[in-house]
């Protein structure tokens, strides 16, 4: 398992709801937390590790010692959005890129945890922003999609760098073609969704 970077096609995949929680899924979640901490992130979505499932992990402290802050969201749904707030965001699939993003300020979210229990939470500030950012990933959306054209222009060269790097990695055979990546996602979906 590794974190894929923009413009990897799985980042544009609309992920499917999971049907069950089992030992294999718990192992995947453990690996996702490891990758997230190793990359100094606070959240990581399944799409970002090339998995087509509606699942993300979060620890808004970013500190692996603070295990009590670890949260797993399976099949999350935002049931309420309120207000509007701007805050800086980055993404482990676009490392080094940061921008102010406007989003609803407060949200209510429902999901399942790793025990398969339904959870719900009313969130604001960083947790609300992080959950919305990660849930976007499950819908194939990235934080740069929220930026106004002028801001996107400023970041154009950096974004182009990611695209060139992706193309050269693909030419070296490190990343499969769109068809084989898509076939793999469909196989994985059939196993668990
Ligand atoms: Zn992200």
Over the chain, what is the mean pLDDT? 97
Residues 144 and 152: their CA atoms lie apart, in Å, by: 7
DSSP-derived 3-state class of residue 172: coil
Q: Look at residue 47 in the predicted model and tell me its pLDDT.
A: 98
Using the mean position of ligand 1's atoms as its centre, give its distance from the Cα of residue 83 in Å: 22
Residues 64 and 35: their CA atoms lie apart, in Å, by: 11
| C-alpha 192 chain-centroid distance | 18
For the segment 92-114, the average pLDDT, to the nearest whole number, is 97
Task: Indicate the domain borders of the chain.
Answer: 9-192
Using the mean position of ligand 1's atoms as its centre, give its distance from the Cα of residue 137 in Å: 7
For the segment 24-46, the average pLDDT, to the nearest whole number, is 97
**Whether 3 contacts 44, CB under 8 Å:** yes
Using the mean position of ligand 1's atoms as its centre, give its distance from the Cα of residue 8 in Å: 13
Q: Look at residue 29 in the predicted model and tell me its pLDDT.
A: 98
Q: Look at residue 128 in the predicted model and tell me its pLDDT.
A: 98
Backbone angles phi and psi of 112, in degrees to 5? -115, 145
Give the pLDDT band of residue 161 (cuts 50, 70, 90): very high
For the segment 150-161, the average pLDDT, to the nearest whole number, is 96
Q: Look at residue 152 in the predicted model and tell me its pLDDT.
A: 95
φ/ψ bin of 43: left (φ > 0), alpha (ψ from -120 to 50), beta (otherwise): beta
Percent of the chain with pLDDT over 90: 99
Peptide bond preceding 19: is omega within 30 degrees of 0, i.e. cis?
Answer: no
Query: Thinking of the domain 9-192, which architecture would CATH place it in?
Result: Alpha-Beta Complex (3.90)
Q: Look at residue 54 in the predicted model and tell me its pLDDT.
A: 98
91 - beta bridge partners? none
Q: How many CB atoms lie within 10 A of CB 111?
A: 22
Active site residues: 134
Give the pLDDT band of residue 104 (cuts 50, 70, 90): very high
Distances (CA, A) of 159 to 5, 36, 136, 176: 11, 22, 19, 21
Q: Look at residue 135 in the predicted model and tell me its pLDDT.
A: 98
Using the mean position of ligand 1's atoms as its centre, give its distance from the Cα of residue 91 in Å: 4
Residues 191 and 193: their CA atoms lie apart, in Å, by: 6
Residues 108 and 110: their CA atoms lie apart, in Å, by: 7
pLDDT digits 0-9 by tens, 56-82 = 999 999 999 999 999 999 999 999 999
Residues 101 and 144: their CA atoms lie apart, in Å, by: 8
Using the mean position of ligand 1's atoms as its centre, give its distance from the Cα of residue 66 in Å: 21
Using the mean position of ligand 1's atoms as its centre, give its distance from the Cα of residue 132 in Å: 10
Distances (CA, A) of 40 to 43, 58, 136: 9, 12, 20
């Amino acid at each position: 398992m590794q974190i894929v970077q923009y413009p990897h096609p799985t980042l544009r995949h609309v992920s499917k709801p999971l049907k069950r929680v089992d030992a294999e899924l718990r192992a995947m979640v453990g690996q996702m937390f490891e990758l997230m901490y190793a990359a100094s992130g606070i959240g990581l979505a399944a799409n970002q590790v090339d998995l087509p499932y509606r699942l993300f992990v979060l620890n808004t402290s970013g500190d692996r010692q603070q295990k009590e802050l670890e949260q797993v969201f399976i099949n999350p749904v935002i049931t309420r959005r309120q207000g509007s707030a701007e805050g800086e965001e980055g993404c482990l699939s676009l490392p080094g890129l940061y921008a102010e993003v406007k989003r609803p300020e407060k949200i209510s979210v429902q999901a399942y945890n790793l025990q398969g229990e339904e959870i719900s939470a009313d969130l604001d500030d960083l947790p609300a922003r992080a959950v919305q950012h990660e849930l976007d990933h499950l819908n194939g959306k990235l934080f740069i999609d929220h930026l106004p054209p002028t801001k996107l222009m400023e970041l154009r060269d950096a974004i182009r760098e990611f695209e060139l790097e992706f193309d050269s990695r693909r030419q070296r055979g490190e990343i499969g073609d769109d068809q084989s990546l898509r076939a793999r996602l469909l196989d994985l979906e059939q196993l668990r969704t």
